[in-house]
Structure 1
Amino acid sequence: MGVVVTDAEVTLADVLALKMAIEEPLAAGTQLVLRHRGSGAERRVMLGTPGRRAREASVAVSLGPLALVPGRWDAYLQQDGPRTRMQSVDPGFSLDRLDAYALDRRTMAYRAYRTRNGFLAIKIAEAEPVADVRAVWFREGRFEVTGLLAYTGFTDDDQHHTARLSLRHSDAEVVAIATVQGVRFHAALSLCDVLAATPDSQGIWEPSLEVEGLDAPLALGANLDDVEGKRRRVHYPATRIDGVPIKPSFTADDQLRLEVGPGMSAA
């Protein structure tokens, strides 16, 4: 069919905007077919418009009305004959663009991306307010973390919000004041307080961020970027406090944890 996607973006209004290099105009009746990898369910959208020979084409498809369920949807074009999977040269990643998309309050998040084999696909996930982690480090006996408040509806401005960081392990909890300005957060917490709260100095600690104006504490995770499987791919430096090893890590679903003590491994 001679079609290559050169730019793919899901806009702030959840519209899939595509720019394509084409050899021939899209014929009348051409369909965009989205196929769910897990179930095989399909959604079809008419695209074709008769016209003169062209080297480029742009299409826009509103994703909300298609009732797409969470998961990954592969993109195909179909005219009169067999469907053709859509090739893409756009990596589909811009952290600035993803940050802007995450500022709105959403229940579903859509993302266009290029697969490892070079094809266009859509990733869809349920969205709820979260504290998206951007940096983690240890300094002067403190655990520090910074990031972005996502899907909260907060404005990216200079307004300060009262907040606190909590670390929980079994029945123990350590709390510290956090700084939230607009949608950016920073928090620091004493690791000596963490060890004092656990007599055996061992366990998995789960952080959360409570922010004024939000109904529930926010989990600390890292889901906005395109790095999946962070437990295998992202490794932060560990530290020792009074001889006890402490290491930040991610769970299988990219949630941040603190592993305290030897031989710990987050679920």
Structure 2
Amino acid sequence: MEARHGVMGPGVRRAVTSRVNSDDTLRIEWPEPDDGEIVLRNVETGEEREGADLTGLRAGIWMASHRGEPLATDDPGFSLDGLLAYAETPRTREIRAFRTSGGTLGLTVREVKPYVEVTGVQSDDGVIEVEGLIAYGPPIEGPATLVAVARRGPEPVSGPAAFHRRRFEGSVRIAPMAATQVRRRVFWDLHAEVGGVRLPLAARLDDVTDKKARVRFPAQYVERVRVRPYYTESDSLAVALTVEEESS
């Protein structure tokens, strides 16, 4: 069966809701009962899969069809609360529903590893404080550390942190980072560390694109060293330390 993706025929029915449940099943809600089978097609390989069970779906983009036509949907596929709930389950593969520009349903399947989803950042009074939630990993309880790892040169700098099941909170002082500054600019990546395992800090569940350019945190100063948290191109949380030139 060859679905005409993005081209909707005159008799196409439109789903009200199209979401991926935490058990990796596709939940479709129609305005009225419907018993038609959903078919998924991998846009790269052409592989097809019938039904709502998404277990074992290979990584890539899949388009949904219904009765031989692209599945139209009113659901934008985004709910931060829903994605946070989905991330509570330990998993190695994430499946997200999305609505194409043509109003049809697609799925993105990608490999994932546990990390800390950042929910709050405060940069003030010589300290960077971070709050977050464990994504795709099991709950953790107890003390931890917030570790800043320089991409080149200086040894890691750490501060106190703790896990309270899924919730994480930690802080790191900026003075020890600035004290190691030997180049004009140094970048530090932030991690939560517990039991010798480092979990990256990142913000990947919301719908904010291009965070590196659009999200700005306040800068702090240690003498001439400007310290500013920022998001990388992969939405990881990092810190840039820059020696500012003296004004003439």
Alignment of 1:119-158 (within 5 A): 119-154=104-139
What is aligned with 2:169? 186
Of residues 40, 54, 75, the one that matches 1:63 is: 54
The amino acid across from 2:123 in the alignment is: F
* Residues 140-219 of structure 1 aligned to structure 2 (within 5 Å): 140-154=125-139, 160-169=141-150, 170-172=152-154, 173-200=156-183, 202-212=185-195, 216-219=197-200
Pick from 199, 203, 217: which aligns with 1:222?
203
Q: 1:73 and 2:73 equivalent?
A: no
Aligned partners of 1:5 and 1:43: how far apart in 2? 20
* Residue in structure 2 matching 1:41, options 25, 30, 46: 46
The alpha carbon displacement at 1:142 in A equals 0.8
Deviation (angstroms), 1:163: 0.5
- Give the aligned residue type for 1:2: V
Unmatched tracts of structure 2, length 5 or more: 1-10
Of 20, 28, 34 in structure 1, the residue corresponding to residue 30 of structure 2 is 20
Q: Within 5 Å, give how 1:237-248 maps onto structure 2.
A: 237-248=218-229
Partner of 1:107: 92
Separation in 2 of the partners of 1:236 and 1:115? 32
Q: Is the 8 A contact 1:5 1:120 kept in 2?
A: no
Query: CA separation in 2, counterparts of 1:247 and 1:227?
Result: 20
Asked whether the equivalents of residues 39 and 48 of structure 2 are also in contact (C-alpha less than 8 Å), the reply is yes
TM-score (norm 2): 0.83
CA distance in 1, matches of 2:213, 2:69: 34
User: How big is the alpha-carbon RMSD for the aligned residues of Structure 1 and Structure 2?
Assistant: 2.3
Counterpart position of 1:53: none
- State the Cα deviation string for residues 96-128 of structure 1 (Å, max 9, x = none): 222221112111111222234422111212121
Aligned pair in 2 of structure 1 residues 25, 154: CA closer, same or farther (>3 Å)? closer
**Letter in structure 2 aligned against 1:70:** A
Contact 1:104–1:154 under 8 Å retained in 2: no
Unpaired runs of 5+ residues, structure 1, are: 47-60
Task: Give the match for residue 6 of structure 1.
Answer: 16
Tell me the distance in 1 between the aligned counterparts of 2:42 and 2:87: 23
Q: Could you tell me the percent identity over the aligned residues?
A: 30
Instruction: Give distance in 2, aligned partners of 1:148 and 1:3.
Output: 38
Relative to structure 1, the CA distance from residue 123 to residue 235 in structure 2 (aligned partners, 3 Å threshold; closer, same or farther) is: farther
Partner of 1:49: none
Q: Which residue of the other structure, out of 38, 49, 68, is the alignment partner of 1:32? A: 38
Shift of 1:199: 2.9
1:66-96 residue CA offsets vs partner (Å, 9 max, x unmatched): x42223222222x3xxx42222111222222
How many pairs were matched up? Answer: 232
Deviation at 1:25, TM superposition (A): 5.2
TM-score in terms of structure 1 length: 0.78
Query: Aligned partners of 2:83, 2:227: CA distance in 1, in Å?
Result: 31
How far, CA to CA, are the matches of 1:204 and 1:116 in structure 2? 37
Native 8 Å contact 2:203 2:235 kept in 1: yes
